[in-house]
Structure 1
Amino acid sequence: MVWIDLEMTGLDPQSDEIVEIAVIVTEADLTEIDDSLSIVIKANDAPLAAMDDVVVAMHTASGLIDEIPRGTTLSDAESRVLEYVTSHVPEPRKAPLAGSSVYVDRMFLARYMPDLDAHMHYRLVDVSSIKELTKRWYPRAYFNTPEKTGNHRALADIRESIAELRYYRDAVMVPPPGPDTSTAKELGNNHVVDHG
């Protein structure tokens, strides 16, 4: 899985820009394959000036606001991240993009980093979706989810998302290797939708 987190000037890919990207590649068991990569990106003046007070406060508290003027170009960041990803996942459309509320990151990747976006599988592993299901089906597990303290920096956010998914795997999912074949088949048959 390719875990990507972005920090942006806001949530609208039409007017906001990426100011930080981080990536970690993991095995299926969520073990990190290699060192991570984190890059600060210099944004244009207009999106920076248009940031709302919440975003300004968040990026100020994390220290990111001071790093943005010295950041690299969007093009350079995309090239470096794509090189990192393809060194671990050379075949296009193989690895799913993973993260928390990662559909938002995907919208920004599609607009600003189309080559990187094109390399990723169309499927997403969204920890936020699992969180929402856990909240509804396993509230005790939900209320004991590990506390997040990453301070809205991209790399810290990814590590917390990976840790959160590990927690959900341990707290609410069937332990590996899962049910035996006959039990799995019986469960599957119990959930076939009759369209007739």
Structure 2
Amino acid sequence: MTRKTEALLWVDIETTGTDPRHDLMLEIGLRCTSMDAKTEYARYESIIKPYVLPTDRSFAYAHRMHEANGLINEVIDASPELCSTARVALAVIDFTQSMAETHVLHPAGTNMMGFDLPFLEHYLFTEDQWGRFHRLLSYRALDMTAIRLTQTALGADPYEHYTQTKPHRVTDCLDMDISEYVEWLDLVK
């Protein structure tokens, strides 16, 4: 039996708000990389089409942001069959299972333990699906927020290079997290 290699499973989602029990997921992105994030093994991205988009004030900020970055239009135009919550949940499990066959998967991302994974648990997956997905992951995780807070504690500004507003789509957020992680590894070598 071949020994599994360690890998990072980068997770990012876009939502209508911050509460996984009430708000909706609109987009998900997963990337499986080497532990140094210099090699990408595979990626999965999908729009998630909710039955109805919210219209209350609590969605106003997210709506403006996601309208500006084109996500709202993509959600509206998405296939209800191909981008349904049920279909995307199965695709996420299939993707993760395929990566877990050869890798020990450490979840990675920004606030992923307190934001992204709870949304997967409470919004995307059924209870059984969450259990299947969660068992594919290592209990050890890499949170970019911890790295940024460490930099702040050491007197650095981890956000100083943000000179423009980012589009705030899963591709951009994952690109940024992975790039910053690679830079951070180079600094601590």
TM-score, with normalisation over the residues of structure 2? 0.80
Matches within 5 A, 1:57-68: 57-68=64-75
Structure with a larger share of its residues in strand? 2
Segments of structure 2 that go 5 or more residues without pairing to the other structure are 1-7
Q: CA contact under 8 A between 1:7 and 1:21: conserved in structure 2?
A: yes
Task: Count residues in correspondence.
Answer: 170
Greater length-normalized contact order (CA 8 Å, ≥ 6 residues apart): 2
Following the alignment from structure 2 to structure 1, what is the Cα–Cα distance between the partners of residues 148 and 84?
Answer: 34
Q: Larger C-alpha radius of gyration, 1 or 2?
A: 1
CA RMSD of aligned residues (A): 2.2
Following the alignment from structure 1 to structure 2, what is the Cα–Cα distance between the partners of residues 124 and 145?
Answer: 25
Q: Secondary structure at the match of 1:95?
A: strand
Q: Aligned pair in 2 of structure 1 residues 90, 133: CA closer, same or farther (>3 Å)? A: same
Aligned to 1:156: 172
Structure with a larger share of its residues in helix? 1
Matches within 5 A, 1:90-169: 90=101, 94-103=104-113, 104-111=115-122, 112-113=124-125, 114=130, 115-139=132-156, 142=158, 144-145=160-161, 150-169=166-185
1:76 to 57, 74, 87: 87
Q: Aligned pair in 2 of structure 1 residues 149, 32: CA closer, same or farther (>3 Å)? A: farther
TM-score, with normalisation over the residues of structure 1? 0.77
* Shift of residue 162, structure 1, vs aligned partner: 0.5
Q: Secondary structure at the match of 1:49?
A: coil
Aligned to 1:178: none
Residues 132-183 of structure 1: CA deviation (Å, up to 9, x unaligned) = 110111416x365566764111122111101111122223x2x1xxxxxxxx
Segments of structure 1 that go 5 or more residues without pairing to the other structure are 176-196
